[in-house]
Structure 1
Amino acid sequence: MVCLLLPLGLAACSSTGDQDDYALNDTPPEVLYNEGLALRSQGNLKAADDKFRELDRLYPYSEYAKRSLVNMAFINYRRGNYTDAITSARRFLTLYPGNEDAAYALYIIGQSYYAQIPDITRDQRVTMEAAQAFSELIQRYPDSEYVADSRTKLIAAEDQLAGKEMQIGRYYLKKRNYIAAINRFKTVVLEYQTTRHVEEALFRLTESYYSLGVVNEAQTAAAVLGHNFPDTAWYKNAYALLNEGGYAPSEDSGSWISRAFDGINVL
């Protein structure tokens, strides 16, 4: 007899003797897993993902389902399906936080966000997510084989985040909204102190505070800039700006700027 497909995809047959195409697959989990691995090694990633998903659906609490989650995360990352990769990796971490593959799952999450980092003019939410994943991996699994690459990518992500703060800060500075500008440059100095943007941030703080008439903080920002980056154009510009008004760089040890660099040499 002919089977008709119902709107929700359920098979309906008029004879009970006919086999339902949607009957439960009784293939053992180890067989499904090995089939998925074979498809993955052949480069048939879509079929491999389907196989691992089927295994996870049929045997959700098995050891093979656990391995399938990691494979799904990797496969979807390779296919550019970053949302699915992150979902599988996060589910794995939720279910098996102490598993030996937890560091790898975190690494896939970081890589998936990192691959989506936009240019500096756009919202940097995914950049922040990438930085958080790599930072967590470094802190929780310091001996992991993924730490070295995570450190490299964390530096790049933080540089991007600092660059975004600088872009917004310069916009506010141009609009003479000095308080808003200072808040952005302050974020760079406090949170992204080891990025390449900190030199300009200190100069912009000198510029912003000086424009507000808060000379003491302007002098401190210039002094800290000169102490850490004495040969840069940013320091020369800060020195010249203060000199025009009859001032010179002078550090106030009680300033938040001075305290931010206390005991830290960024050279």
Structure 2
Amino acid sequence: MRLRLFITVMGVLCLATGGQASIIFRPGEKVKYVGPGEEEISGSAQQIYDKAQEAEKQGNMGRAIKAYTQLLKKHPKDALAPGATYRAAQLLEFEGDYMKAAMTYRWLVERYPSSPNFDEAIEGQFRVGEMYLSGKKIKMLGIPIATSLDRAVEIFAAIVRTAPFGRYTARAQFDIGLARQKQSANDAAIQAYQAVIDKFPNDPIAADAQYQIGYIWYEAARLGTNDQAATQNARTAFEDFLFRYPKSEKAQQARENLERLQQKSTGDAMKIAKFYDKEKAYRAAVIYYGQVIREHPGTTASAEAQKRIDQIRAKVGPTALTPAVAVNEPKKKQVASRAPAGNPRPSFRNGDAEVAPLPPPEPDSNLPPPASLLPPTTTAPEPSPSPESSPAPEAAATPLLTAVCLLLTSCLGYHVGPVKPGVLRDVHLVAVPTFENKTLLPRVEVLVTDSVIKQLQQDGTYKIADQGNADAVLKAEITEINRTPARSVRGNVLATTEFNLTMHVRYKLEAHGGTLLMPYADVVGTTSFFVGTDVTTDERQALPLAAEELATHLVTQLSEGW
């Protein structure tokens, strides 16, 4: 009996010594069993730190992580806390608990920004974020269950926020775009890529961001979206890419993508033109044929479109292709033939073709007759009637009434016309060749030139003609287009909600022989726009407004001299 009891006691002691288990007694609580390595770690910051170091030497990483975490919780303001936080994050990453590691790295950079391990902690976050971006899945009970692109975005966003000028910030912003692109959230991806270009234009990753913007729009156009802006935005993005980064390794691919987009755009416009041509809607067909010629000059499609335009004009005549609001020439002559001789109609600044004829006014018996119907004033006046034939007051009022009528009707033959500068008094026809574009925005010269031509036509002081028949030629160059922040997001000065857009043009007016009629002058057009999901698209939509205001100022200077 005693032998059995001795063996049992020795066995219990051996198990207790080998397992190093602990039984904790607390007043008012039940007895608690704590496994090896799970005992509560207490003491001063230095004591806890020493326990963590000892656990690392013994290879007990779980206990070391717990000790470092306890030090951070109990002594967050101690000098050892930043080092303990960084070491805990390293051990968590080593043990494969990547999300907790990223959170611990983030805790370090947010709570201890002056830590000597700040840059290493940013690098650790970036390393974990790249791991999730590359496809590492979230695990539950050790089993991969889902991708973690949202976690990657969260990590990269923390890097951008806590280290806005750090070594990994530009790449983290770019990776946000990659993650959103993988999620098919193209609007968010474009916005992230655009942020790389705006905030880090000199970083090499900005070239990749510009290409990715073009590629997103390229894929949208290639997959057959009904939004025609996708093709235009893709072309703009790739042209910007080639202009800024002509030596990039992706330059050749961008050129090939542009060629495919050109073929697609030409085919779409030609398809629409042929549809209207088949339906005998010739004016609409000519508009789309003209689009092919403007956007793709010198191509086979352009030659085909021009040939068909010539055939349509020969078939239906130019009159059928003019806008419906214009007044036909025979009707103009008919109206002119009804005008009384010696009293020509006032001229209008927009030209007779833009103004419909007015009906003849109804005669008003209460008004005196016009001057053209009064008796000639060059003969001697007839004798005044005697007092017996008419009352004296009426006889006295007759000469006064006649004088008033003459005064009111003596200027009927005059009209207020355009007040041109003296040097331009002999200029009636103006040629407006396409402006020269010295900015980074492609094809904006077509937009500005069209706006100026439309404004000249609307003003009416000058008529548009080709250079061979024009009295003067307007030559201009677009020198600058600026986009400046006007309003920022509350609490984040780096994010802009509204931009001011300013367009500068320098122009001169030359006579047909090359004589300078007006020296170089500058004109400016401005507008503003709010930022949505795509800054590039928002800016493109605001450009016509700035061009319209610029055209108004330019034409005013030409027609009125100020």
- TM-score of the pair, normalised by structure 1: 0.63
- 1:216-255 aligned at under 5 Å gives the runs none
Q: 1:124 to 1:45 in 2, by over 3 A?
A: farther
Q: 1:76 Cα shift? A: 2.4
Matched, 1:92 2:174: no
Q: 1:60 Cα shift? A: 3.0
Kindly indicate which of the two structures has a greater share of residues assigned to strand.
2
Match for residue 151 of structure 1?
Answer: 255
Q: 1:34 to 1:133 in 2, by over 3 A?
A: same
- Higher deviation after alignment, 164-173 or 132-141: 164-173
217, 239, 244: which is aligned to 1:140? Answer: 244
- 1:197-212 aligned at under 5 Å gives the runs 197-198=301-302, 200-212=304-316
Matched, 1:169 2:262: no
Matched, 1:39 2:121: no
- 1:13-162 aligned at under 5 Å gives the runs 25-27=107-109, 28-43=121-136, 44=147, 46=149, 47-117=151-221, 122-162=226-266
- Higher deviation after alignment, 69-78 or 130-139: 69-78
Q: 1:105 Cα shift? A: 0.8
SS at match of 1:63: coil
* Higher Rg of the two aligned structures: 2
RMSD: 2.9
SS at match of 1:26: helix
Contact 1:103-1:146 within 8 A present in 2 as well: no
Paired with 2:225 and 2:185, the residues of 1 have a C-alpha distance of: 24
Paired with 2:201 and 2:223, the residues of 1 have a C-alpha distance of: 33
Paired with 1:144 and 1:53, the residues of 2 have a C-alpha distance of: 27
Contact 2:210-2:237 within 8 A present in 1 as well: yes
Gaps of 5+ in 2: 1-73, 75-102, 110-120, 137-146, 319-467, 469-562
Q: 1:195 Cα shift? A: 5.7
Q: Deviations over 1:35-90 (max 9, x none)?
A: 11222334556132332123223333333222101112223223322212111110
Contact 2:132-2:152 within 8 A present in 1 as well: yes
Q: Deviations over 1:157-184 (max 9, x none)?
A: 1222222222322233234332332221
Contact 2:177-2:188 within 8 A present in 1 as well: yes
Paired with 2:272 and 2:170, the residues of 1 have a C-alpha distance of: 44
Contact 2:170-2:203 within 8 A present in 1 as well: no
Paired with 2:182 and 2:215, the residues of 1 have a C-alpha distance of: 10
Q: 1:209 Cα shift? A: 2.3
Q: 1:207 to 1:26 in 2, by over 3 A?
A: farther
Contact 2:125-2:155 within 8 A present in 1 as well: yes
Paired with 1:34 and 1:86, the residues of 2 have a C-alpha distance of: 23
Q: Deviations over 1:120-151 (max 9, x none)?
A: 68231111101100111112211111111111
SS at match of 1:155: helix
Greater relative contact order (Cα 8 A, min sep 6): structure 1 or 2? 1
Paired with 2:157 and 2:315, the residues of 1 have a C-alpha distance of: 61
Gaps of 5+ in 1: 1-16, 215-253, 255-267
267, 284, 297: which is aligned to 1:193? Answer: 297
SS at match of 2:203: coil
Paired with 2:185 and 2:148, the residues of 1 have a C-alpha distance of: 11
Identity %: 25
- TM-score of the pair, normalised by structure 2: 0.32
Residue identity matched to 2:305: A
Aligned length: 196
